[in-house]
């Protein structure tokens, strides 16, 4: 409580005045956080602008990504069988014979690698092509609808609600970010998920005890991977915000 004596002998209390002033002021950080929370949408809503052709591309891309992931751990299993055949024989003359006895569906190991390579190549190409094309189509549709919505706004909207820099950023940066999020990265995530699930299933089938022991290394891997992924993403977000502010100058 602060009091000050005036020239006429009266005193003035500044406590209530300061409290009212501080109560009327809004914290800009809180407003910014509320705005960011309001702008966030669930990931599945990014696919709201897909048409039937995009759904077909996404289904084909998902199947191809799953097949590519399965081919990855099948290749690893084939390599392991071939290495085991090298270790089981001590006679050099029997090496080729033992390696040729490695079969999957009655196929020698050499032909097996050829078939896996062909399958992986076709699946990977289909995965990347389908998800890239559908990402570009949906991003172009979002960009077009955003421009159409801008043309229907009144002049006061551009004076009070937005600026030229914000419009340029949303058209040139945000749409490409959405395209990257719903495009090739989705196919890569499905491929790696299928490879991980298939790899664990194969590992527990061949040696469940060793697989349980190796599971202890997963938490450190997840921790280090999250640090290496989250931090660059935060830095990229800050850089994008800085470019947005600079574009309004």
Output the tens digit of pLDDT for each of the chain's 249 residues: 544 454 444 454 544 443 333 444 444 444 444 544 556 778 888 898 899 999 999 999 999 999 999 988 888 877 777 777 666 655 666 666 665 665 554 556 667 778 888 999 999 999 999 999 999 999 999 888 888 888 888 777 777 777 766 777 777 777 888 888 898 899 999 999 999 898 888 888 888 888 888 888 888 888 888 888 888 878 877 877 777 666 666
Contact 143, 179 (CB under 8 A): no
Q: Which two tokens stand for residue 90?
A: 């001590």
Burial degree of 81 (CB within 10 A; 0-12, 13-18, 19+): middle
* Residue pair 143/126 in contact by the 8 Å Cβ criterion: no
Distance of alpha carbon 139 from alpha carbon 174, whole angstroms: 9
Three-class secondary structure of residue 248 per DSSP: coil
Alpha-carbon 189 to chain mean position: 8
pLDDT of residue 130: 95
Question: What's the pLDDT at 58?
Answer: 95
What is the structure's pLDDT at 24?
Answer: 44
pTM of the full predicted structure? 0.68
What local confidence, expressed as pLDDT, does residue 99 receive?
59
Determine the pLDDT at residue 148.
85
Q: Name all domains of the chain by residue range, CATH numbers in brackets.
A: 52-202 (1.20.1560.10)
DSSP 12: E
């Amino acid at each position: 409580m602060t009091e000050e004596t005036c020239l006429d002998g009266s005193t003035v209390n500044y406590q209530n005045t300061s409290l009212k002033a501080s109560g009327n002021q809004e914290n800009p950080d809180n407003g910014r956080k509320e705005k960011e929370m309001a702008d966030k949408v669930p990931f599945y809503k990014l696919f709201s602008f897909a048409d039937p052709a995009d759904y077909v591309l996404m289904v084909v891309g998902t199947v191809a990504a799953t097949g590519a992931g399965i081919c990855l751990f099948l290749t690893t299993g084939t390599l392991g069988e071939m290495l085991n055949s090298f270790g089981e024989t001590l006679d050099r003359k029997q090496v080729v014979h033992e390696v040729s006895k490695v079969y999957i569906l009655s196929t020698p190991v050499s032909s097996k690698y050829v078939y896996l390579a062909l399958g992986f190549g076709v699946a990977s190409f289909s995965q990347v092509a389908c998800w890239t094309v559908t990402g570009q189509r949906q991003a172009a549709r979002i960009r077009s609808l955003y421009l159409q919505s801008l043309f229907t706004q009144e002049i006061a909207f551009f004076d009070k609600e937005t600026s030229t820099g914000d419009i340029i950023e949303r058209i040139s940066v945000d749409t490409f970010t959405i395209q990257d999020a719903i495009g090739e990265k989705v196919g890569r995530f499905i491929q790696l998920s299928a490879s991980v699930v298939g790899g664990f299933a194969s590992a527990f089938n061949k040696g469940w005890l060793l697989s349980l022991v190796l599971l202890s290394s997963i938490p450190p891997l997840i921790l280090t991977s999250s640090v290496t992924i989250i931090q660059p993403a935060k830095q990229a977000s800050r850089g994008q915000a800085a470019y947005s502010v600079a574009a309004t100058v």
